[in-house]
Amino acid sequence: MSAPLDIEGPTAPPRSNGELVFAEPWQSRAFGMAVGLHEAGAFTWPRFQAALIARIAAWESASAREEPYHYYLLWLGALEDVLIDLRVVSTDEVTARTEALAQRPAGHDHRHDHDHPHSH
Amino acid sequence: MTTTSGPGERLPAALRTEALEQLLTERGLIDPKAMDEIITTYETNVGPLNGARVVARAWTDPQYRRRLLEDGTAAVKELGFSGPQGEHIVVVENTATTHNVVVCTLCSCYPWPVLGLPPSWYKDPAYRARIVREPRAVLSEMGLELSDDVRITVRDSTSEVRWLVLPERPAGTGRLSEEELVPLVTRDAMVGVAKVKAP
């Protein structure tokens, strides 16, 4: 047996058997956004889930799979699909804002507006 | 809608995620602080340790075991575990002759309150397709050799049923307490791609 873990206290590790829950911080934001929107009543979970299933099915049926399978990319796409369907955002405005963010001068390409840990 | 539209088209997904978060925040639809709390919860608090507590209780308390097999969601909630993706948890028991293994063939349905978020292999197209077609071979590749007389049932999780495996209690652990059993129970055993090993 390995050294005893603190399985009770606030420092208890997530028992994810050695795997990070999120590989990159943006994945955690995409996850938190979907769950947060759902909890705020923006959409039902089955609605998001159906969009995710559609994204995954589309990737799996694509004859030429140009992009490698990337779960959180499909997750993000599903979230956009639902929000566009609800007319909360449009593809164009998300793209425009993304391009605007990409124009930030070097050294300002990391977010500073949140105090959550970037531990990865 | 084409399959190539949206994220990943030209700019990094991180930027697109940030753009979406900004737009939604400006419209008052999300609160970044609330998002931080959700993320922290799943990064640090909710994980397979919860499920391990459920399994250890079921191994040591026959009444609880019966309730768990009858109504998984309610029995899990008894121990304080509930929340998103915790509805419709159905628990199936693995024995020396019957082995259940869980998959979500369509996406990534998984009982978050007891197992946390799924590992990457669970979401992978190869696992999702192959475990249905050739479970014995896939389990063998994952390190679990089952003899031919063990009957394997593949359980497909959906939004209506989220399966949780109650693993077989390993031989030689009869004298261990519930608390001593908890650390033995792994995520993989509760998905059904591994067995619990005696210490």
- pLDDT at residue A104, rounded to an integer: 85
Cα–Cα dist A59/B4, whole Å: 9
User: Which of B11, B20, B42, B53 is best to mutate for the A interface (most A CBs within 10 A)?
Assistant: B20
Rounded to whole angstroms, the Cα distance separating A37 from A117 reads 21
A1, B49: Cβ pair inside 8 Å?
Answer: no
Whether residues B47 and A16 touch (CB distance < 8 A) is answered with: yes
CA of A92: which chain B residue's CA is closest?
B6
For chain B, what is the mean pLDDT? 92
Residue B1 neighbours by CB distance under 10 Å: 14
User: Distance between CA B182 and CA A42 in Å, rounded?
Assistant: 38
d(CA B162, CA B104): 9
For B138-179, what is each residue's pLDDT tens digit?
Answer: 999 999 999 999 999 999 999 889 999 999 999 999 999 999
- Min distance A84 CA to chain B CA atoms (Å): 11
Q: How many beta-carbon pairs below 8 A join chains A and B?
A: 184
The residue with tokens 């050695």 is A18
Q: Give the pLDDT confidence of A1-25 residue by residue, as tens digits.
A: 333 444 443 333 444 455 678 888 9
Of B35, B107, B117, which is closest to A36 when you measure between CB atoms? B35
Per residue in A104-118, pLDDT (tens digit) is: 877 655 554 444 444
The whole-number pLDDT of residue B156 equals: 97
Is the ipTM beyond the 0.85 threshold?
Answer: yes
Residues above pLDDT 90, as percent of chain B: 85
pLDDT at residue B83 in the model: 86
Pairing between β-strand B151-156 and β-strand B162-166 as defined by DSSP bridges:
unpaired
Give the pLDDT of residue A61.
86
Work out the average pLDDT over B56-64.
Answer: 98
Contact B186, A16 (CB under 8 A): no
Q: Does pLDDT of B3 surpass 50?
A: no
Least confident of A13-22, A36-45, B41-50, B109-118: A13-22
Q: What is the pLDDT of residue B186?
A: 93
3-state secondary structure (DSSP) of residue B153: strand
State which residue of chain A sits closest to B159, comparing Cα positions.
A46
Q: Judge whether residue B51 has pLDDT over 50.
A: yes
Reduced to 3 states (helix: H, G, I; strand: E, B; else coil), residue B123 is: helix
With cut-offs at 50, 70 and 90, classify the pLDDT of residue B1: very low
> Residue B21 and residue A42: Cβ atoms within 8 Å?
no
| Predicted local confidence at residue A23, as pLDDT | 86
Q: In this predicted model, what pLDDT tens digit does every residue of A53-108 receive, in sequence order?
A: 999 999 988 765 667 888 999 999 999 999 999 999 999 999 999 999 999 877 65
The pLDDT of residue B111: 95
Whether residue B82 lies in the annotated active site? no
Chain A contact present for B38, CB below 8 A: yes
Residue B107 annotated in active site: yes
pLDDT of res. B5: 44
How close A119 gets to chain B, by Cα (Å)?
A: 11
Facing A60 at nearest CB: one of B19, B24, B125: B125
Looking at chain A, the whole-number percentage of residues with pLDDT higher than 70 is 68
pLDDT band at B37 (very low <50, low <70, confident <90, very high): very high
Taking the CA of residue A38 and the nearest CA in chain B, the distance in Å comes to: 10
Res B102 pLDDT > 80: yes
Element (H, E) at A54: helix A45-61
Using the structure block, give the residue that is written with the tokens 């998959």. Answer: B103
Whether A97 and B30 lie within 8 Å, measured CB to CB: no
Instruction: Tell me which residue has tokens 């994980």.
Output: B47
What separation in angstroms does the CA of B150 have from each of B82, B100, B136?
A: 33, 10, 10
The more confident residue out of B8 and B183 is B183
Tell whether the model's pLDDT for residue B89 goes beyond 50: yes
Strand runs (DSSP E) across B29-129, as ranges?
Answer: 89-93, 98-103
Residue B37 or A67, more confident: B37
pLDDT of residue A3: 39
Check residues B197 and A3 and name the one with the higher pLDDT: B197
- How far is the C-alpha of A51 from the C-alpha of B93, rounded, in Å? 32
- Kindly determine whether residue A15 and residue B187, on different chains, have CB atoms separated by under 8 Å: yes
